[in-house]
Amino acid sequence: MLEGTLKNVEVEVCGDILTIKVDLSKEIGPSASGKSTLVASTGGAVTVEDGARVNLSVYRKTK
C-alpha cells in the first residue's frame, strides 16, 4: 500500500522488486532555498510495501 503525496513519481511493487519511475523532462517548481529546481518528490518518506519506506527528491541546480 502506498501512502503520501507523490509528485512526478510512479512507484510499482511487483513481488520483491520496487520500481521507481520519474519523467526527467518535467519540473515541479523551485526548491525552498531557490538554489535548485525540483523534478520529482515523494513529499517525504512514503510506505510502499510491508513497512519499506522511500524518501526521494530529484532536482537540478538552478542555472
DSSP assignment of 13-24, as one string? Answer: EETTEEEEEE-T
Question: Per the structure block, which three cell numbers stand in for 27?
Answer: 519540473
Q: What is the pLDDT along the chain (63 residues), one digit of tens a residue?
A: 565 689 999 999 999 999 999 999 999 999 999 999 999 999 999 998 888 999 999 999 987
pLDDT of residue 8: 96
Look up the pTM and report it: 0.83
Bridge partners (DSSP) of residue 54 are 46
